[in-house]
């Protein structure tokens, strides 16, 4: 998943700017068919007589922190990376994985060994893409020195987790280029969603020569090299980013757009005005958001498009710092929120109240794990928790969020609810996305906003975030041995019903100890010009412009 800056995405995946899931990052409101194996679902072509300049104008709510698939952890970076890279597979319009950088593959009878044939294609600088680029990229992400917060996505590979934790050598990891065009991958356990996972950015290749020549290669248009449908032409940091069609792309004939121009405007009202003035062809999710005050009118005018996605908007507690080192106090803050009121009065986009961590598309417990707006229980738990900590009054609590009008309004509403329902004083603190992420990772917060959009449609993707105390996307500093054991058991359980029960037991522990406070399940909303066609937004909240065109 991905962090959604609105959901970062991510997840992602939503109000604000790029969900941890792959995760959800910045947004607040959002977050193989029967055809030839190496094909993508067909993209309609534009009649020659009506052909218009194939330029799409969009807004990124914030600066992408990176263009490096091995380091990216938010939906804004993820959107640019998906446009400029291809994995072994790519998700098609049918929501299924299709061969991309790999032209074919075979799977062993025990489902533990995959062998991929890399198709003849080139990097955007003309270098050939080889199996060695994949081996290098995956081992680089797993290398503890790289400090990739998404390294855990590679733990499905044999010895991936051990290598990332320094318990095995990188040479022991189960990925090997047998020759330039053959990649062999050995898994820890049969993984039914592995082909889907290969379409996620942490599994993308990188050009070893480029990466080793310049550690800052992924932050500048002149040095950014990918193998995807587009390449970065220019990058004026915190101002504008332009990607253009990559003529070296293996499937360039199915790429209709010549150029995508991204503005970088944080204010949602300004973005919507730019759309109304004809300066943008699209406004809102999944790379930004719409101002909440404008939603009713956009709905009434029939301009608003809303889509449910597999993502959860939640607050994280720093469980190592008082008073949120106390479970009862964490639960009190969680139970006292009136989620439906937030949705009806602030969000207004058909979101669902979240009383669990896992979203509806992969739900483990349809009834949830607690009651929304349970004031009586919340007050009782707060009193008991304060007695356990030996205090009679809570100090001022700091609630942090990344800069976004949507996140601000949600935080203000929750601040007011906590004051009214629990008598707690809450101070709000907002920061620019990149700084905000770093502070969460360093534990410099009490309660922090985050969204998570699924990287693949399986509950493990939401639960594994909290498996390890110092896991790259945990930030809560919470860890539970039984929770971890349930996740380990689920990886080895072949019976799907039994596996689901194990994961439900794991989610029960997560909700019993409440290191996170689920708030709502995402939808994404946007407006677009009528002539914009073929933009693919998946059920996970990812956006792919490969098949987009202007009619």
Mean pLDDT value across residues 234-253: 97
pLDDT score, position 4 = 60
What is the gyration radius of the CA atoms in the chain, in angstroms?
Answer: 23
Backbone angles phi, psi at 446, to 5 degrees: -105, -60
Q: 45: pLDDT confidence band, cut at 50, 70 and 90? A: very low
Query: Which neighbouring-strand residues pair with 370?
Result: none
Mean pLDDT value across residues 421-434: 95
pLDDT tens-digit profile of 266-315?
999 999 999 999 999 999 999 999 998 999 999 999 999 999 899 999 99
Q: How far apart are the first and last CA of the chain?
A: 33
Mean pLDDT value across residues 32-55: 47
544 vs 453, residue with greater confidence: 544
pLDDT at 400 over 60: yes
Which of 14-18, 48-52, 261-265 bottoms out in mean pLDDT, i.e. has the lowest? 14-18
pLDDT at 92 over 90: yes
pLDDT tens-digit profile of 309-354?
999 999 999 999 999 999 999 999 999 999 999 999 999 888 999 9
pLDDT at 24 over 50: no
39 vs 358, residue with greater confidence: 358
Task: Compute the C-alpha angle 21/165/210, nearest 5°.
Answer: 65
Q: 51: pLDDT confidence band, cut at 50, 70 and 90? A: low
Residues 6+ apart with CB under 8 A from 354: 312, 313, 314, 339, 368, 518, 519, 520, 521
d(CA 541, CA 113): 30
pLDDT score, position 50 = 53
Considering only CA atoms, which of 492, 537, 223, 486 is closest in space to residue 364? Answer: 486
On whether the CB atoms of residues 332 and 503 are closer than 8 A, the answer is no
Q: Which domains does the chain have, with CATH numbers?
A: 308-522 (3.10.105.10)
Residues 6+ apart with CB under 8 A from 151: 141, 142, 160, 164, 202, 472
pLDDT at 492 over 80: yes
pLDDT score, position 40 = 39
117 vs 36, residue with greater confidence: 117
On whether the CB atoms of residues 293 and 539 are closer than 8 A, the answer is no
Instruction: Name the pairing type of β-strands 89-91 and 113-118.
Output: unpaired
Distances from the Cα of 273 to the Cαs of 59, 295, 435, in angstroms? 12, 14, 28
Residue length of the chain: 551
pLDDT score, position 493 = 87
Give burial (CB, 10 Å; 0-12/13-18/19+) of 149: buried
pLDDT tens-digit profile of 214-229?
999 999 999 999 999 9
Q: What percent of the chain has pLDDT over 70?
A: 91
Mean pLDDT value across residues 5-30: 40
d(CA 379, CA 386): 11
Query: Mean pLDDT of all residues in the chain?
Result: 90
Residues 6+ apart with CB under 8 A from 60: 17, 18, 76, 79, 241, 262, 263, 264, 287, 288
pLDDT tens-digit profile of 200-217?
999 999 999 999 999 999
Q: 434: pLDDT confidence band, cut at 50, 70 and 90? A: confident
DSSP letter at 128?
B
Mean pLDDT value across residues 135-161: 96
pLDDT score, position 300 = 94
pLDDT at 20 over 80: no
pLDDT score, position 2 = 55
d(CA 353, CA 171): 46
d(CA 283, CA 243): 18
pTM exceeding the 0.95 threshold for the entire prediction: no
Distances from the Cα of 486 to the Cαs of 17, 153, 467, 501, 521, in angstroms? 33, 18, 10, 10, 24
pLDDT at 3 over 80: no
pLDDT score, position 308 = 87
Mean pLDDT value across residues 443-458: 92
Residues 6+ apart with CB under 8 A from 497: none
d(CA 239, CA 329): 42
Tell whether the torsion through CA atoms of 378, 391, 450 and 369 is positive or negative.
Answer: negative
């Amino acid at each position: 998943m991905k962090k959604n800056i609105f959901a970062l995405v991510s997840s992602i995946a939503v109000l604000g700017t790029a969900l941890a899931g792959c995760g959800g990052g910045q947004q607040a409101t959002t977050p193989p068919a029967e055809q030839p194996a190496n094909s993508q679902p067909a993209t309609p072509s534009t009649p020659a007589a009506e052909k218009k300049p194939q330029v799409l104008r969009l807004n990124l709510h914030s600066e992408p922190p990176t263009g490096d698939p091995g380091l990216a952890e938010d939906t804004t970076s993820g959107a640019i990376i998906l446009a400029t890279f291809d994995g072994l597979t790519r998700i098609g319009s049918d929501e299924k994985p299709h061969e991309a950088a790999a032209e074919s593959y075979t799977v062993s009878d025990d489902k533990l060994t995959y062998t991929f044939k890399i198709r003849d294609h080139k990097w955007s600088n003309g270098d050939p893409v080889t199996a060695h680029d994949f081996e290098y990229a995956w081992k680089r992400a797993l290398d503890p020195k790289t400090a990739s917060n998404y390294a855990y996505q590679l733990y499905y590979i044999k010895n991936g987790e051990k290598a990332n934790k320094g318990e095995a050598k990188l040479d022991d990891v189960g990925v090997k280029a047998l020759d330039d065009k053959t990649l062999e991958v050995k898994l820890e356990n049969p993984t039914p969603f592995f082909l889907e996972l290969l379409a996620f950015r942490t599994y993308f290749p990188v050009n070893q020569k480029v990466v080793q020549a310049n550690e800052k290669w992924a932050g500048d248009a002149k040095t950014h090299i990918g193998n995807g449908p587009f390449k970065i032409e220019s990058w004026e940091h915190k101002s504008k980013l332009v990607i253009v069609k990559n003529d070296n792309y293996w499937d360039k004939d199915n790429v209709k757009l010549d150029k995508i121009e991204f503005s970088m405007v944080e204010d949602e009202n300004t973005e919507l005005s730019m759309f109304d003035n004809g300066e943008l062809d699209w406004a809102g999710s999944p790379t930004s958001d719409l101002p909440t005050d404008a939603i009713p009118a956009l709905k009434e005018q029939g301009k608003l498009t809303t889509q449910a996605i597999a993502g959860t908007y939640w607050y994280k507690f720093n469980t190592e710092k008082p008073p949120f080192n106390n479970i009862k106090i964490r639960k009190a803050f969680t139970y006292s929120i009136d989620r439906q009121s937030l949705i009806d009065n602030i969000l207004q986009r058909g979101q669902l109240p979240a009383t669990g961590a896992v979203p509806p598309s992969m739900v483990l417990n349809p009834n949830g794990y607690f009651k929304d707006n349970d004031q009586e229980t919340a007050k009782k738990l707060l009193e008991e928790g304060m007695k356990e900590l030996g205090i009679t009054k809570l100090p001022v609590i700091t609630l942090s969020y990344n800069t976004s009008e949507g996140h601000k309004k949600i935080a203000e509403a929750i601040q007011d609810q906590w004051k009214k329902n629990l008598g707690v004083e809450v101070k709000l603190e907002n920061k620019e996305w990149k700084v905000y992420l770093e502070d969460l990772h360093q534990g410099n917060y009490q309660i922090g906003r985050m969204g998570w959009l699924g990287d693949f449609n399986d509950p493990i993707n939401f639960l594994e975030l909290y498996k390890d105390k110092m896991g790259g996307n945990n930030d809560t500093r919470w860890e539970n041995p039984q929770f971890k054991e349930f996740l380990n058991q689920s990886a080895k359980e072949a019976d799907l019903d039994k596996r689901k029960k194990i994961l439900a037991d794991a989610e029960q522990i997560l909700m019993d100890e409440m290191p996170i406070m689920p708030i709502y399940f995402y939808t994404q909303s946007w407006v677009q010009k009528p002539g914009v066609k073929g933009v693919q937004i998946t059920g996970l909240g990812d956006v792919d412009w490969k098949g987009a065109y202007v009619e």
